[in-house]
């Protein structure tokens, strides 16, 4: 599935590995993160952890997801395959897609104005890119989340349409 440093917690008593259920488990809506650490370190942290910091429903869903060894592996494999397909299609559409090992791709649109225009074109189609403010080093780029095949198809179509309109003007 990937690389992990979680087992290093046995050799390093103060190591805390932070994870999220958002990506590998596709549970972003639950907004649940968790820590992997030695039990004595967790016991020291518990008194300062806010009570009821997540809902019982969120805790129950994520707990069940963590028990399913195949769930993360299946989802990660899907994201990898879709990321590769999305990268290839966006590149064919004329967008410069950087390398990624995450659940998103970063597209270099070469200027802040072009990135803003592309973001607006995506928004008009109900697609929400992550943009960066003026002055930010990534202001000329869009961060695009890898989603389902059908959602990625909508994104690909929007990118092609954006490029066709840009070429016509």
Domains in the chain (CATH in brackets) are 6-67 (no CATH), 75-168 (3.90.1150.10)
> Could you tell me the pLDDT band of residue 2, with boundaries at 50, 70 and 90?
low
CA distance linking residue 28 with residue 63, whole number of Å = 14
pLDDT per position as a tens digit, 18-45: 888 887 888 888 889 888 999 999 999 8
What is the average per-residue pLDDT within 5-20? 89
CA distance linking residue 88 with residue 161, whole number of Å = 16
Q: For the chain, give the DSSP string.
A: -----GGGGGT-TT--EEEESSSTT--GGG--EEEE--HHHHHHHGGGSPTT-S-HHHHHHHHHHHH-HHHHHHHHHHHHHHHHHHHHHHHHHT-EEPP-SSSEEEEE-SSHHHHHHHHHHHHHTT---B---TTSTTTTEEEEE---HHHHHHHHHHHHHHHHHHHH-
What is the average per-residue pLDDT within 35-57? 88
pLDDT-above-90 percentage for the chain: 67
pTM beyond 0.85: the answer is no
């Amino acid at each position: 599935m990937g690389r992990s440093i979680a087992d290093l917690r046995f050799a390093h008593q103060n190591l805390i590995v932070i994870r999220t259920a958002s990506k590998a488990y596709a549970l972003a809506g639950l907004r649940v993160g968790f820590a992997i650490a030695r039990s004595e370190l967790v016991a020291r942290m518990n008194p300062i952890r806010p009570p009821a910091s997540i809902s019982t429903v969120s805790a129950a869903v994520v707990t069940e997801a963590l028990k399913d060894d195949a769930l993360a592996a299946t989802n990660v494999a899907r994201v990898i395959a879709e990321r590769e397909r999305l990268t290839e299609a966006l590149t064919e559409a004329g967008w410069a897609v950087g390398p990624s090992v995450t659940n998103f791709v970063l597209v270099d649109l070469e200027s802040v104005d072009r990135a803003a225009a592309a973001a607006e074109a995506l928004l008009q189609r109900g697609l929400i890119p992550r943009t960066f403010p003026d002055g930010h080093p990534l202001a000329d780029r869009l961060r695009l989340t890898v989603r389902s095949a059908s959602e990625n198809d909508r994104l690909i179509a929007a990118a092609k349409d954006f490029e066709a309109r840009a070429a016509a003007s």
